[in-house]
Each structure stands twice: as structure tokens, then as C-alpha cells.
Amino acid sequence: MTDQVPGQDTKDAGRRAAAIRAWVEQTRAEADQVVGTGTAESGQVTAKAAAGGRVTDIGFGPRALRLDGKRLADAVRSAVGRAQRDAAEKLNALMRTAPDGFDPAETQTVLTRISQIDW
């Protein structure tokens, strides 16, 4: 038999919930600042993307317009893809700082399932 103080589990749960809430607020603010960058192989096209993958900037080097249409389109897609992957990696790094025992991805999955229940 273990010695337990009445209400201790509740206090521990409250502290844990507060720690998770603080982490979520801090991480949300940091995630809003995440910017991924990418450059095409040619070096003539650069891109930036936000954490959610939204492209925020595309830049062209002085020789970019010498590329034919297909190569320019490929360079843009490459730079954008790299920027989006970079942003996703940075966001994943933030998620790995979650408090022990808290899995943001699993929490999101559960919340999504709950929201789909036809009450």
C-alpha cells in the first residue's frame, strides 16, 4: 500500500495542465515566427514559407529570367518545396520541446476525432 496525500493527484494534474498550457502558448507564439527558406539548385530562385506552408516570398536572381519557362517553373517549385520542408522541420523541432508525456500530434488526432462525432 502506498502512502498518498488526499488531493495530491489533483494538485499534480493541475500543475501539469498549467505547464502544458504555458508550453502551448509559448510554442504558438514561436510557431508564428517560423520561416523556412529554400533555394533552387540553380541558385537563381529563393523562397520563404511560414510554418503552415504558406509561401511568403519568392525571389529571383539576375539570371533567373534566362531560364526557359519549364526550367523557371521547376526552379520555383524546388525553392518553394525546400522552404516548406525547412519550415516543417523547424516546427517539428518546436513540437519536440513538449513536456514529458504530452504528445501534441496525438492530442490533435484525438481532438479531430472528437470534433467529427455527430452529437
Show the domain range for 49.
18-115
66-93 residue pLDDT tens: 999 999 999 999 999 999 999 999 988 8
Q: Is 91 domain-assigned?
A: yes
17-73 residue pLDDT tens: 888 888 888 888 888 899 999 999 999 999 999 988 999 999 999 999 899 999 999
**pLDDT on residue 118:** 83
**pLDDT(14) > 70:** yes
Domains identified in the chain, total number? 1
Q: Is 96 domain-assigned?
A: yes
* Residue 7 pLDDT level (bands cut at 50, 70, 90): low
- Look up the CATH number of the domain holding residue 50: 3.30.1310.10
Q: Is 5 domain-assigned?
A: no
Q: Is 7 domain-assigned?
A: no
Burial class (CB in 10 A: 0-12, 13-18, 19+), 69: exposed
C-beta separation of 27 from 93 below 8 A: no
Q: Is 12 domain-assigned?
A: no
**pLDDT on residue 44:** 95
Q: Is 24 domain-assigned?
A: yes
